[in-house]
Structure 1
Amino acid sequence: MIKVIIERHIADELGEHYEKTARATLQKAMQAHGFISGEALKDFNDPNHRIVIANYRTIHDWQHWLGSSERKEMMEQIRPMLDREEKFTILEH
């Protein structure tokens, strides 16, 4: 199993819109092959800093989701709300 930490920093005043779109993205990710679990968190000290922690069976499962058309479509909606690029950290046990 691997953990993928996705860090996003959203632009001011877009929190509510981001939350709606991020929830839809997580719901689609939950259907991806190898997805185990996930959670979306907000940085206590910086409400525009958002973190998604997702567990996948293998790195290949994550890479498949990362390159999927479903994720690309969702990111087309999320990307304009970000004020910097997403950051990924992949952890293994």
Structure 2
Amino acid sequence: MIRVMIERHIADSLAEHYDKAARDTLQLAMQAHGFISGEALQNTDDPNHRLVIATYRTVQDWQRWHRSPERLEMMAAINPMLESEEKVTLFEH
């Protein structure tokens, strides 16, 4: 089992649009092979700083989702809302 940390910084005034797109992306991810769980968090000191924590069965399951047409399409909508490129870090036990 692995944990995927996805850190994002949203541009000012786009939080509402980002939240909807992020929820839609999480709904799609939940259907991905090997997906176990996921949550979206907001920094208490910086409302534009977000963290997604997802649990997948294997690194390969995450990579399959990361490269999937569904995620690429959702990221095409999310990327313009970000101040910088998302940072993805994988952790394992």
TM over 0.5: yes
Residue matched to 2:52: 52
Query: In the alignment, does 2:66 pair up with 1:66?
Result: yes
Q: Percent identity?
A: 69
Structure 2 gap segments, 5+ residues each? none
Q: CA deviation at 1:3?
A: 0.1
Instruction: Tell me, in whole angstroms, the C-alpha distance in 2 between the residues paired with 1:72 and 1:91.
Output: 22
Which structure 1 residue ranges, 5 or more long, are not aligned?
none
TM score, norm. by length of structure 1: 0.99
- Structure 1 segments (4+ residues) deviating >6 Å: none
Q: CA deviation at 1:21?
A: 0.5
Compute the RMSD of aligned alpha carbons. 0.3
Length-normalised TM-score, structure 2: 0.99
1:3-23 C-alpha deviation (Å, 9 max, x unpaired): 000000000000001000100
